[in-house]
Each structure stands twice: as structure tokens, then as C-alpha cells.
Amino acid sequence: MSIEGTNEAPASQRIRYGMVGGGEGAFIGAVHRIAARLDDRYVLVAGALSSEAERSRRSGVALGLAPERCYGSFEEMAQKEASRADGIEAVVIVTPNHLHVPVAQVFLEAGIHVICDKPLAANLQETVGLQELASAKSCLFAVTYNYSGYPLIRHAREMVSQGELGALRVIQVEYPQDWLSEKLEDTGQKQAEWRTDPARAGGGGCLGDIGTHAFHLACFVSGLTPQSVLADLTSFVEGRLLDDNVHVLLRFAEGAKGMLWASQVAPGNENALRLRVYGEKGGLEWSQENPNVLKWSPLGEPPRLLTRGGPGLTNAAERLTRIPPGHPEGYLEGFANLYTEVAEALVAQRNGTGPSASVMFPGLEEGIAGMRFVDAVLRSSQAGGVWTSLE
């Protein structure tokens, strides 16, 4: 449905959306706006960008919103937008974690589709009833596990599902960072503040922030069913209220085993998300910091370097690629791919047709799986590190 030779779509297909959170001083809101804008599939028309009314209005007007569509509360926004003929079709939720579910519920009730940052909730309990609500309202619900939008990740998933690796044996996934190696939350840095605050982040610190990304990526590519986890969480920085290092052993229902490491106290690591998947017939390695290369090692043959846009890729990867190989696409393009997938689905829904089979994005099921993972890891670690079922 895109314009020939581009990922842009005809103007008639653009989605009107609003944003909750993401005003002045926020970080991830701007990322979502770029992601929405990149392929020209969305128009931002409303916002409750801050919980302070004046700040919300100021931020919204700066971004080009009509003043009357800059709302002081998300409840007001849901209500008023739902009643407009030109009201938003979807809401993007980019608040701290504890507001994800409350905000989503209000918009779902109003019949508005939801695109929500991860993790889905502050805790597993909150998510009860969410799927039923979305279903009852015929609303789409996307959770932005954005790393699943990288083209080579799509290709890796395709290779696994086509059986090119044979039965999987070992999954190694890791996501180390270093930005919380010191007690940054005491300096007034806003991102550090809420992400280490149990009231706003939920029970997991590093776990919820990036451990869930690693978990989702491993599941997305492998297609395996996580069965049980054993976790050892640590708060290395003195006085920190949530974990800053996550060690997890994984067992999958199909017999594969895995390790997951997430850390925010590993100096020299920026966003070193890395996935390795090994099966009977070959292995795959991918690193987020250089996402345009996928190393594919068929057993007994020299490894191949698959590149985004290069030879040997499946349509699953090609369709989410904009520019020639060797011209790196990065984090924002991968993020935009999710937005573009959601736009395809929203347009199909608008037209009363289903989206094409190739459209794919993480939704409530994946969001809840992530919360189930968080919950099991917390229970395992609190029990001293024991095997804990994910079911």
C-alpha cells in the first residue's frame, strides 16, 4: 500500500493520533513522534503532553497542535476526542510505566486504538481484563517493543520459523548499559528518577526497562515458549531502590535453554542489546548497536554476513527497508517500522479489511507475556534464586 519505491503511503491513509506524555523534558515522546512521522503515515493532532495543564498546552502548541486540542488531562482528551468527527484514531502512551494501563483503559473505553510504550504495566495484576476490553471495543493495541522492528530481526525470525536453524538449542540474549553506574537518580536527572522509583516504574528497575526488551526479542525471533526462569537480581548502587543488574536462566517448553543478562552498571556499554540463537543446523548473531548486519553461520560452512537490503533477504526484511544496503538505518527507522506496521493495520481496519498477512507488531499478548516474565523473575529472585514457572 506504500507509494512505489518508498515506504510512504498516500496521504489519504494517514492516521490522526494524539499523545499522552512526551512533553517538555521527556525523552521517549520525541522518539515516538519521529517514528510516526518517518514514513508520513501519521498526523499528530491532539495531546495531553504533560500532567500540568499549562505545560501541556505550551508543549502542544509548539508542536503545532490547535490550542483546544492540548488537554490538561488524559481523561478529558479521551472524552473530547471521541466526540469529534475528526477526533484521533489512536493514542500514543509515553508516560512512566504506572500510568500505561490507566491511560489505555480510558482510551479503549472511548473506542480509540492504543500504541503503548513498554513495559505494558507496572505489574502483572494491572493487566487483567485489558485484552477483553480491547476486544470488546474492537481496538488495536500495540506495545512498542521496538527492536522487533529492525529488518534483520524480522529476517532472523523468518529463518528460524522456516526451519533453517533446525530445532533450537541455546538462546543467549543480553542488554547491558552503563548509564546508572552511579546514583544518577540523586542528581535530578528525570529519566533516572522515575526509572528507579518503584512507584512509577513498578517492581522491576533494569528488569522492566531493558530486561523486558531482551526477553521479547528472544521470544520474537525464536518463537519458543518460555516455561520457567531462575533469576538473580542485584542493586549494586548503594541506596538504589530497584535492581540494576539482572541475571536470568531460561528454560523453554521446546527444550531449548537460555541466558538473559540485563545491566545498567556495565561501563563501556551504551545500548549493547545482543541476541544469539543456536540450533541444530546453524547459528544467528545480531547486535543492536550495528543492526545492519546479521551473522548467519550454517553448521560446517563459513559464516555469512547478511546485510539490510543486501542479497539473500526475505520479503519480511525487505518490506521494512527504505534505503540501499550500506547506508545504515538505525534505531529510529526500526521504531518507525512498528509505527508503519500499525498504520497498515489501522487503515485495513478503517477499510473493514484485515491487514495483509505480513503485517506484524507486538500487541497485548506480547505485552502481557512481558509482565508475566517480570513477575516470575521478581518472584524467583526474591525466593533466593529458584526455578519459577512462567505459566
Among 17, 252, 286, 331, binds its own copies (CB under 8 A): 331
Nearer to its own copies, 282 or 370 (CB): 282
Residue 358 has what DSSP assignment?
Answer: T
Give the Cα separation of 339 and 79 in Å (integer): 24
CA 301 from centre of chain: 34
| Residue 332 lies near its own copies (rule: CB under 8 A) | yes
Within 110-211, residue ranges assigned H as helices are 130-136, 151-161, 190-195, 198-201, 206
Spell out a b/e string for 220-236, using b for 16 or more CB atoms within 10 Å of the CB, else e.
Answer: bbbebebbbbbbebebe
Nearer to its own copies, 43 or 82 (CB): 43
Dihedral angle sign, alpha carbons of residues 292, 149, 335, 226: negative
| Residue 196 lies near its own copies (rule: CB under 8 A) | no
Nearer to its own copies, 201 or 336 (CB): 336
| Residue 56 lies near its own copies (rule: CB under 8 A) | no
**Closest CA relative to residue 97, chosen from 35, 176, 21:** 21
Pattern 226-265, its own copies, x by CB under 8 A: ----x-x-x-x--------x-x-x-x-----x-x-x-x-x
- Residue 295 near residue 203 (C-beta atoms within 8 A): no
Q: Which residues are 91's β-sheet partners?
A: 18, 114
| Residue 47 lies near its own copies (rule: CB under 8 A) | no
| Residue 302 lies near its own copies (rule: CB under 8 A) | yes
Q: Which residues 6+ apart lie within 8 Å of 267 measured at CB?
A: 178, 181
Q: Which stretch binds its own copies (CB under 8 A): 104-112, 291-299, 343-351, 362-370?
A: 291-299
- Name the minimum Å distance from CB 210 to its own copies: 11
| Residue 79 lies near its own copies (rule: CB under 8 A) | no
Nearer to its own copies, 37 or 137 (CB): 37
Q: Among residue numbers 120 through 179, which ones bind its own copies (CB under 8 A)?
A: 169-170, 172, 174, 177-179
Give the Cα separation of 307 and 384 in Å (integer): 43
Edge-to-edge strands, sheet with 90-93:
42-48, 15-20, 90-93, 113-116, 141-143
Nearer to its own copies, 194 or 261 (CB): 261
Q: Which stretch binds its own copies (CB under 8 A): 9-17, 71-79, 136-144, 192-200?
A: 9-17
Nearer to its own copies, 95 or 307 (CB): 307
Q: Which stretch binds its own copies (CB under 8 A): 2-10, 151-159, 195-203, 359-367?
A: 2-10
Which SS3 state, helix, strand or coil, does residue 247 take? strand
Return the number of other C-beta atoms located less than 10 Å from residue 126's C-beta: 19
- Name the minimum Å distance from CB 379 to its own copies: 16
| Residue 290 lies near its own copies (rule: CB under 8 A) | yes
| Residue 14 lies near its own copies (rule: CB under 8 A) | yes
